[in-house]
Amino acid sequence: MTATATAPERHILCMKWGTKYGPEYVNRLYAMVRRHLSGPFRFVCLTDDSQGIRSEVQCLPIPPLDLPAGIPERGWTKLATFSADLHGLRGTALFLDVDVVITGNLDDFFTQPGEFLIIHDYKRPWRITGNSSVYRFELGAHPDVLAYFRAHFDTIRQQFRNEQAYLSDFLHKQGKLQYWPSAWCPSFKYHCIPAWPTNYWKAPFVPAGARIVIFHGECNPPDALAGRRNRRFRYIRPATWVADHWRE
């Protein structure tokens, strides 16, 4: 879908590479966005395999980073979104990980003030590091993020554990780093699972004000929907609400 001539074009960006996530993740993400974002937008998936992805999604190649073979993945591939020319796309981009579950309206993610917005890290909020499951930027506006990464990868890899730590530090030093309101993007792991021992009789819930529930670590939407019984202190009852949202 394309925007009107007078409005800045809005893009939803996602990435799918390798075999960890199938096309159903992209297809369901598109469906959730369509239900929760009013007005026109373009949905783009940067991917190495477009097979099975629905026709409303524009599939484009992932710009190569030319990283050394055999290194841990660590999400570095996401930095390709900061290419000076990302397949000629122009406008505002909201990047979403393919394994999020959208539970509320997305309109404000495009109007919230800020040059670069990201989730504030849940586990260590005293640090500047953001969680890059959801971030917004102007396409082509931060090519130095990628250029510096290419020129100093060995040093960056020693200094930062993953792409979101490097990205947050780089834009913080430029005074461009800002965070989404804390209620908008809760973590399933930290905010939705009831505290032990109530997790044994209380099911996971959607926190008040949540719009995009983030899944990180070992639990993804299908796992949350099924529940988990094999971990004594991390027992999870089925999160049946996932099925209401994570669907085509």
Q: What are 167-222's pLDDT values in tens digits?
A: 999 999 999 999 999 999 999 999 999 999 999 999 999 999 999 999 988 789 99
Q: Is 11 within 8 Å of 106 (Cβ atoms)?
A: no
pLDDT over 50 at 163, yes or no: yes
pLDDT of residue 6: 57
pLDDT over 50 at 142, yes or no: yes
Which of 179, 208, 225 terminates a domain? The answer is 179
Domain count, the chain: 2
Indicate whether 102 belongs to any domain. Answer: yes
Tokens of residue 188, six digits: 């399933």
Q: Are residues 115 and 138 in the same domain?
A: yes
What's the pTM? 0.94
Which of 179, 203, 218 terminates a domain? The answer is 179
Indicate whether 199 belongs to any domain. Answer: yes
pLDDT of residue 3: 45
Q: Which domain holds residue 105?
A: 10-179
Q: Are residues 201 and 172 in the same domain?
A: no
pLDDT over 60 at 4, yes or no: no
Q: HSE of 198 in the Cβ direction (CA atoms, 13 Å)?
A: 8
pLDDT over 80 at 148, yes or no: yes
CB atoms near residue 95 (< 10 Å): 20
Query: What's phi and psi for 82, nearest 5 deg?
Result: -95, 20
| Span of 80-94, 198-212, 224-238 with lowest mean pLDDT | 224-238
Q: Are residues 172 and 199 in the same domain?
A: no
Q: Are residues 200 and 102 in the same domain?
A: no
